[in-house]
Amino acid sequence: MSKLVAKILFFPLAALALGAAYQAVHPEGLWTLRTGQKAYDDGFERVTWTEVQPKVSSGDWLLVDARDEDQFAAEHIPGAVSLPAASYEEMLLFFAEEHGREKPVVIYCGTEDCEMSAELAIRLRDEAGLKEIRILEGGILAWRRAR
């Protein structure tokens, strides 16, 4: 009987342990992002897709995709530019030079909570000196739902 219980418990417990360990070592590991989210959660205005769409269409706001390049290539919001959250500082500075530090940007990523957006937002503010940064609430999912 106890052998059967051990076998039954093996699958979920092993999956949890392997999953937790894998996330800890993976470059995009979820635990790292969770920690980052807590550290970077404050200070940036969250905006909805309804607010963002007209501003982006008129060219007033620049839409920035914080996910990695493969994800951007697979799907992105039309008009968005790719700037992965893990970009080197030089890339952030190049981005600031190219688009200007005064241009308002809206950052999105792939998840509802947008951990990478917050991470990129604080880097763009602190390392590249951007003045006006917002985060798209719901990330790319908000755009998908509105399509």
Partner 1 sequence: MRTAAIVFLRLLIGGLFLWAGLSKLGSPLQTLATVYSYQVVLPDLIASLVAASLPWMEILLGTALLAGIWLPVATGWTATVLVFFSMMTAQAWWRELPIDCGCVDLSVLHPALAALTTPGGATLRNLVLLVLTVLLAVLARKRAVV
Q: Which residues bind partner 1 (CB under 8 A)?
A: 4, 7-8, 10-12, 14-16, 18-20, 22-23, 26, 28-31, 33-34, 67, 71, 109-113, 116, 139-141, 144-145, 147
Pick between residue 121 and residue 130 the one whose CB is nearest to partner 1: 121
The two structure tokens encoding residue 11: 């699958």
Helix (H) or strand (E) holding 92: helix 89-99
Pick between residue 130 and residue 139 the one whose CB is nearest to partner 1: 139
CB of 52 to partner 1, least distance (A): 18
Q: Count Cα neighbours of 54 within 13 Å in the Cβ-side half-sphere.
A: 2
CB of 145 to partner 1, least distance (A): 6
Q: Helix, strand, coil: what percent of the chain each, to 5?
A: 55, 10, 35
CB of 104 to partner 1, least distance (A): 25
Q: Closest by alpha carbon to 85, among 60, 67, 99, 103?
A: 67
